[in-house]
């Protein structure tokens, strides 16, 4: 692509969350000079999501807008605009305001929360994904209402933490036998389950919701729970319905199946963030990562692929070590890697204490680490995972030995 053609090459990014915003920023940082349009479904200035379950929810901050000067970047913002479809043959997307033409399209529409069946339109039922969701939940916490949280995953734990800080009575209903059942093995979540009771929240496992009615939740076993409000956190699905029938390949869960450079099955169309899976040579399978760090890192690959048409540079495959964190019950919890194919689990420290970590190995090579209040373990473990450096299991299981000194 010549410099002259670049100035006429229009990149349209659909989705104004972290992945979309960072794609626009990365394009400019990598020297792209053509027009860039960023389209967001929400009317708000693009914002970061992690503070929604913390400072914004507790009224300690009014918003979490990104500190990005879009005018200075020469990025056109089109907010409050829903996208309805993609017509690849015409290089156009359909919006409620009419078609928008693109030369390159970046899909960064993220994910939307799964709705508890039968609760659509029921008063007092909330999700926690958007700024508007957090604003609506603010008065619930201020009034110290009784709250039922459905789902003991990451978002359920974070909301429960905030609600208890605000003085609400909280009951958490989890269909599985433990919290974080999808994310972590039982032996690791066992001590984490204790955190709920220690912080004044009641955790009910093996519990399924039968109906939600004004003022109460009825469980499948007949138990009734008082509920001035119900907060549902039972997972998220890629927000890709608008791509059905477009020619963009989707997996059974609705995620765009991008390649190792985050290209979709259609030419000139990329996908990044929560809405897209990608093949990982590191872990030997396709990953779908619904976490902030993925939405921060992936855009650099997308921008590199787009600008690479000008410079001839190849950004290389996107194969990160996944990372996320959660603040819950007074603890800073961090996880890096992927433990699915591990063959050994090592404890570092006593899980009954405030700080401990778990290291997963595959043939003595670290593949994942969970750190609770041990940021040094996280930092050193991440480097070992990235470099695929083998460790001595005996030394690695000794919490007094720094992980960097436990190499084989």
| Extents of the domains making up the chain | 3-112+236-311, 115-232, 330-405
Query: Alpha-carbon distance 149 to 220, whole Å?
Result: 16
Q: Which residue has the tokens 């508007």?
A: 132
User: What pLDDT tens digit does each residue of the chain (408 aa) get?
Assistant: 455 466 789 999 999 999 999 999 999 999 999 999 999 999 999 999 888 887 778 877 667 899 999 999 999 999 999 999 999 999 999 999 999 999 999 999 999 999 999 998 889 999 999 999 999 999 999 988 899 999 999 999 999 999 999 999 999 999 999 999 999 999 999 999 999 999 999 999 999 999 999 899 999 999 999 999 999 999 999 999 999 999 999 999 999 999 999 999 999 999 999 999 999 999 999 999 999 999 999 999 999 999 987 777 888 999 999 999 999 999 999 999 999 999 999 999 999 999 999 999 999 999 999 999 999 999 999 999 999 999 999 999 999 999 999 998
Task: Please report, for residues 63, 110, 251, 294, the alpha-carbon distance to residue 240 in angstroms, rounded to integers and kept in the order given.
Answer: 26, 8, 11, 18
CATH class of the domain at 330-405? alpha beta
| C-beta neighbour count of 388 within 10 angstroms | 11
Fold for 3-112+236-311, please state it. FAD/NAD(P)-binding domain (3.50.50)
Let me know: does 63 contact 131? Beta carbons within 8 Å: yes
Counting every residue, how long is the chain? 408
Fold for 115-232, please state it. FAD/NAD(P)-binding domain (3.50.50)
Query: Alpha-carbon distance 53 to 158, whole Å?
Result: 6
Q: Give Cβ neighbours of residue 22 (< 8 Å, ≥ 6 apart).
A: 295, 296, 299, 300
Fold match, 3-112+236-311 / 115-232? yes
């Amino acid at each position: 692509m010549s410099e002259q053609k670049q100035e006429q090459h229009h990149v349209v990014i659909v989705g104004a969350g972290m992945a979309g915003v960072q794609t626009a920023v990365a394009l400019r940082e990598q020297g792209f000079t053509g027009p860039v349009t960023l389209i967001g479904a929400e009317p708000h200035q693009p914002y970061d999501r992690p503070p929604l379950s913390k400072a914004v929810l507790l009224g300690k901050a009014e918003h979490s807008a990104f500190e990005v000067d879009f005018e200075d970047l020469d990025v056109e913002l089109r907010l409050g605009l829903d996208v309805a479809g993609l017509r690849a043959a015409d290089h156009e997307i359909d919006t409620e305001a009419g078609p928008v033409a693109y030369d390159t399209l970046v899909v960064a529409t993220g994910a939307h929360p799964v709705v508890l069946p039968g609760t659509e339109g029921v008063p007092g039922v909330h999700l926690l994904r958007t700024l508007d969701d957090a604003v609506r939940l603010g008065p619930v916490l201020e009034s110290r209402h009784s709250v039922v949280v459905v789902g003991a995953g990451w978002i359920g734990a974070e909301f429960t933490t905030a609600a208890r800080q605000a003085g609400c009575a909280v009951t958490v209903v989890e269909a599985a036998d433990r919290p974080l059942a999808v994310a972590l093995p039982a032996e690791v979540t066992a001590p984490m389950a204790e955190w709920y009771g220690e912080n004044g929240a009641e955790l009910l496992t093996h519990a399924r919701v039968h109906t939600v009615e004004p003022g109460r939740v009825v469980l499948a076993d007949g138990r009734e729970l008082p509920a001035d409000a119900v907060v549902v956190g039972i997972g998220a699905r890629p927000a890709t319905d608008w791509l059905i029938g477009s020619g963009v390949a989707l997996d059974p869960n609705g995620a765009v199946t991008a390649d190792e450079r985050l290209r979709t099955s259609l030419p000139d169309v990329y996908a990044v963030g929560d809405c897209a899976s990608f093949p990982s040579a590191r872990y030997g399978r396709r990953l779908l990562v619904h976490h902030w760090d993925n939405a921060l890192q992936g855009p650099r690959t997308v921008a590199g692929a787009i600008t690479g048409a000008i410079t001839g540079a190849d950004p290389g495959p996107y194969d990160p070590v996944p990372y996320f964190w959660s603040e819950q019950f007074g603890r800073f919890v961090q996880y890096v890697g992927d433990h699915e194919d591990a063959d050994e689990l090592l404890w570092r420290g006593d899980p009954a204490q405030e700080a401990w970590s778990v290291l997963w190995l595959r043939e003595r090579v670290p593949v994942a680490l969970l750190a609770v209040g041990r940021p040094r373990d996280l930092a050193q473990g991440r480097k070992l995972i990235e470099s695929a450096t083998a460790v001595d299991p005996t030394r690695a299981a000794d919490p007094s030995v720094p992980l960097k000194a436990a190499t084989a």
